[in-house]
């Protein structure tokens, strides 16, 4: 096929003989366009999905800024910054992978996909470290309940109150200049911390789930690329997974300053 609408997606593809052309599409170009449009609409739904959470963040922060100020003291800024860099790097490698697929450079494609997966795994690892820190100091909301479920104890579930490790919290607050808090003041701050942790874990855990899904998708593309499925003629799945991955990265780019960099 030649002409003004010829792209790498369509050059050399003959509708009748193209094994990748689905029966209900007239031309490969139309199939590619449909797939991209479908993925973009799906990304819009993802934005609205996270949007609800960002909205909750906005409402809580507007109504009670103290929650967020206290809360961010307990997040590890360097780790968060490192994760941000890692994820942006993974977006770069993903974009390079898409370009490699479009230009038919198979080795480059495989290498870039591997790099993306490695970056994503590093991100998850650092997240794991952060979460473990929180877990060790009993700062995960519902931690007592989870203990209770897994301990196999009988009896009533612990009340849904957020009770972090008091010495750790006091020490951290003292380091910021809030020393010698009386019990009432401490309880108030601990409760606020609970709300912050709820928002923090909701946002970051949901994001982490999407990173995991992204890793699975990139792995699927990786298998396909090893088998030589993608090239100049057909690279739609790589393109679409790339779009998804960029969205996941972008969500983190919003998350990081909103949660970690509060003044």
Report yes or no: 111 and 137 within 8 Å, Cβ to Cβ. no
Report yes or no: 240 and 39 within 8 Å, Cβ to Cβ. yes
Residue 180 Ramachandran class (φ > 0 left, ψ -120 to 50 alpha, else beta): left
3 closest CA partner among 29, 21, 23: 29
Q: Is 172 in the site for other proteins (CB under 8 A)?
A: no
Would you say 20 or 161 has its CB closer to other proteins? 161
Q: Is 25 in the site for other proteins (CB under 8 A)?
A: yes
200 closest CA partner among 26, 5, 56: 56
Q: Is 30 in the site for other proteins (CB under 8 A)?
A: yes
Q: Is 65 in the site for other proteins (CB under 8 A)?
A: no
Burial 134-152 (b: 16+ CB within 10 A, else e): beebbbbbbbbeeebeeee
Q: Is 50 in the site for other proteins (CB under 8 A)?
A: yes
Shortest Cβ distance from residue 70 to other proteins (Å)?
Answer: 12
Question: Considering only 98-106, 113-121, 195-203, 219-227, which stretch makes contact with other proteins by CB under 8 A?
Answer: 195-203
Would you say 104 or 142 has its CB closer to other proteins? 142
Among 191, 212, 213, 261, interactor with other proteins by CB under 8 A: 191
Among 41, 85, 129, 175, interactor with other proteins by CB under 8 A: 41
Shortest Cβ distance from residue 48 to other proteins (Å)?
Answer: 4
Pair of tokens at residue 40 = 């973009």
Exposed, middle or buried: residue 262 (CB in 10 Å: 0-12, 13-18, 19+)? Answer: middle
Binding positions for other proteins, rule: CB under 8 A: 22-25, 30, 33-34, 37-38, 41-42, 44-46, 48-53, 55-56, 59-60, 63, 67, 141-142, 145-146, 160-162, 191-192, 194-195, 198-199, 201-202, 206
């Amino acid at each position: 096929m030649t002409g003004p609408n010829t792209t790498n997606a369509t050059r050399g593809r003959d509708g009748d003989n193209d094994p990748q052309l689905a029966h209900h599409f007239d031309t490969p170009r139309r199939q590619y366009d449909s797939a991209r449009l479908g993925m973009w609409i799906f990304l819009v739904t993802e934005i609205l999905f996270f949007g609800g959470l960002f909205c909750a963040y906005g409402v809580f922060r507007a109504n009670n800024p103290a929650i967020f100020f206290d809360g961010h003291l307990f997040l590890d800024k360097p780790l968060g910054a490192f994760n941000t860099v890692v994820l942006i790097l993974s977006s770069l490698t993903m974009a390079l992978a898409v370009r490699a697929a479009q230009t038919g450079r198979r080795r480059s494609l495989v290498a870039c996909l591997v790099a993306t997966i490695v970056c994503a795994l590093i991100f998850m690892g650092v997240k794991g470290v952060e979460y473990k820190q929180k877990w060790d100091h009993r700062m995960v909301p519902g931690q007592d309940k989870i203990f209770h479920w897994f301990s196999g104890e009988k009896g009533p579930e612990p009340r849904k109150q957020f009770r972090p490790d008091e010495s750790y919290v006091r020490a951290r607050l003292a380091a910021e200049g809030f020393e010698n808090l009386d019990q009432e003041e401490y309880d108030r701050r601990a409760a606020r911390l609970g709300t912050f942790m709820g928002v923090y874990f909701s946002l970051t855990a949901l994001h982490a789930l999407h990173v995991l899904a992204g890793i699975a998708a990139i792995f699927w593309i990786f298998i396909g690329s090893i088998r030589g499925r993608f090239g100049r003629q057909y690279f739609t799945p790589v393109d679409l997974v790339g779009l998804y991955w960029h969205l996941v990265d972008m969500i983190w780019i919003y998350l990081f300053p909103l949660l970690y960099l509060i003044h």
